[in-house]
Every structure is written in C-alpha cells, then in structure tokens.
Amino acid sequence: MRSYLYVPGDNPAKLAKALTTGADALIVDLEDAVPPAGKDAARAGVADFLGARTGIGEPRVWVRVNPGELGQVDAAAVVGPQLAGLCVAKADSVDELTALDRLLTGLEAERGLASGTVRVVPLLESAAAVLAAPAIARAPRVVRLQLGEADLAADLGVTPGPDGCELLWVRSHAVLACAAAGIAAPVAPVSTDFRDLDALRESTLALKRLGFRGRACIHPAQLPVVHEVFTPTEAELAAARDVVTRHDQAMRDGTGVCLDARGRLVDEAVVRSARRLLDPEG
C-alpha cells in the first residue's frame, strides 16, 4: 500500500468518487471530519457504503473511528467482510486497544468473520501516546502505527517548519517502535498543503528515508506524487532480485560470502532489505 486517502464519512458523493481516484486504500473518517450531530447518520452511511463493495479491483477500505467508547460504537456499525481495519484516533493506551480487541472478537464471531480479521492502526496524537508507542505497537491486532501530527504538534506546543525537523524524533520513534514490535513500518503523516506538489515530493522522499512506507493523503492530487516515491523502479527491483538470487546460491553452495553485481560484500541486512522491497507485505 503506497497511498491512504482520507474521505469524510458523512459525504456519500465523495465516498463514491474516492473509489475512482486510484488510491491504494481509503481511510473513511468518522472522527474529525464528522460533527457530533452527524455521527449516527455517518455510521449508517459508511456501513451501507461498505456493504455495497465487492472488493474486486477496488481500494481497501479502512475506517477511522473515534477514541474510547464512541469508537466502539463506530466499530459495531462498520465491522464486516469489506472492512480492511480500523484506524483508532487518539489512541493513548494499551488498555483502550485491549478493550477494542474484546469487542472486535465478539463482532467477528457474531458476523461470521475469522477471529483477527479486523486489523487495527492506532494514531499517535499526543505526547502520552508517543511515549507509550513501544507498548501500543505490541497491543492486540495492531499492524502498524500512524502519526496524527496536527493534534500532536498542538499537544507538544511546537510549530513544525517546512522540513518538519521539530517532529523528527517523534517520527523516528514511531519507526523504531514498529520495527521493535515486528510489525509493518508506519504510514507517513499527511501534508495539509495539497497544492505544492514539489514540497510534497521532497517531504515524502525524506519520510521514506526515515523508514515510513506509504503516505496518508487528504486530496487526490497528492496521489501521483506519493505513488511515484513509493513505487520501486524496475532497476531497483532487478537489483534486489539479483542480490537475493546471489545470496540463495551462496547458501546452497555452503559459503557465507556473497558479492553483488558490483563486487561489494552482501550481508544478511542487505538481503533482508532486498526481500522487503520485493515483498513489502511479507
């Protein structure tokens, strides 16, 4: 998954259009995008939207749910076979995610889904959540972390500049927490300026170098840039295949020494990176 496009959960027209944007995945928002008075109607509309999906040739659909008990109400409305998982807004503690896991286990049994079908991506949006990230990353059902940097910056009292260096430690910490827990790398946070695509490309490349994989988007115009950055070139794929082939042959030959096409020593870390490039979900 290279791109995750946010779509308001209370706008059926935008939900329908989002399916045609080319995004790899959608995040249908029941939290900030929906005012309190409209949440009941939005839940019903999102449930209908999911129920009408076939999943064939369509982007995967995640739903961002509200924190706490309101999020459990959201989950009960949308859990079904076409739901990829839940993005949990303002997830501050393992206890909250454990309670959600219990609810999801019951909903899966009730609705004929295999246990563990519904995956969870907590959004870290406070100082407490960032400091708890290593534990949150190991909570039930968690497949990766994501940063909600607007709320986080407000909580920290920082004003991010163009290069985002004020949040560098937080970003690296999220990558480190995911790696330590053995889960997928985090999705890069959104850029709210969807008109400056050159700046988007620069920041996306920087986030990729930090270890993020894929990026959340707020506008379809951002998708081509994000796809460009996170799509390996044919040359990169060919080099990765060559490294894996050479390493596998060396193992069959019973030698620990393996050189790449340029004569450089290849160790296990290089091979692991090559395999990840060839099979990001593996």
pTM: 0.88
Both 179 and 264 in a single domain?
no
Both 104 and 23 in a single domain?
yes
Can you tell me the mean pLDDT for 175-203? 95
pLDDT tens sequence across 41-64: 999 999 999 999 887 788 999 999
- Output the pLDDT for position 264: 82
Distance from the Cα of residue 204 to its chain's centroid: 14
At which of 230, 250, 268 does a domain end? Answer: 230
Kind and range of the H or E element at 26? strand 25-29
> 216 and 191 in contact (C-beta within 8 Å)?
no
Both 134 and 165 in a single domain?
yes
The CB-side HSE value for 238 (13 A sphere, CA atoms) comes to 4
When pLDDT is cut at 50, 70 and 90, the band that residue 244 belongs to is: confident
pLDDT tens sequence across 210-228: 999 999 999 999 999 999 9
> 245 and 259 in contact (C-beta within 8 Å)?
no
Which amino acid would we find at residue 175?
V
Tell me: pLDDT of 152 over 90. Answer: yes
> 79 and 107 in contact (C-beta within 8 Å)?
yes
Can you tell me the mean pLDDT for 179-207? 94
Domain region containing 220: 3-230
Helix (H, G, I), strand (E, B) or coil at 234: helix
Both 34 and 114 in a single domain?
yes
Place of tokens 């060919």: 238
Both 93 and 202 in a single domain?
yes
Using the Cα atoms of residue 154, residue 159, residue 161 and residue 166 in order, give the sign of their dihedral. negative
Instruction: Name the phi and psi angles at 240, rounded to 5.
Output: -65, -45
How many separate domains does the chain show?
2
Distance from the Cα of residue 50 to its chain's centroid: 19
Both 272 and 204 in a single domain?
no
Both 118 and 171 in a single domain?
yes
pLDDT tens sequence across 105-118: 999 999 999 999 99
Using the Cα atoms of residue 234, residue 195, residue 148 and residue 9 in order, give the sign of their dihedral. negative
When pLDDT is cut at 50, 70 and 90, the band that residue 278 belongs to is: confident
- Output the pLDDT for position 68: 92
Both 162 and 201 in a single domain?
yes
Tell me: pLDDT of 125 over 70. Answer: yes
Both 92 and 127 in a single domain?
yes
Both 168 and 274 in a single domain?
no
User: 106-141: b or e for each residue (b if 16 or more CB lie within 10 Å)?
Assistant: ebbeeeebeeebbbbbbbbbbeebbebbeebbebeb
> 100 and 71 in contact (C-beta within 8 Å)?
yes
> Cα torsion for 218, 220, 225, 228, to the nearest 10°?
120
> 21 and 5 in contact (C-beta within 8 Å)?
yes
Both 208 and 245 in a single domain?
no
Helix (H, G, I), strand (E, B) or coil at 265: strand
Q: Comparing C-alpha atoms, which of 78, 147, 175, 71 is closest to residue 117?
A: 78
Both 205 and 264 in a single domain?
no
Query: What is the CATH number for 127?
Result: 3.20.20.60
When pLDDT is cut at 50, 70 and 90, the band that residue 280 belongs to is: low
- Output the pLDDT for position 9: 97
Q: Which of 25-34, 44-53, 75-84, 239-248 has the lowest mean pLDDT?
A: 239-248
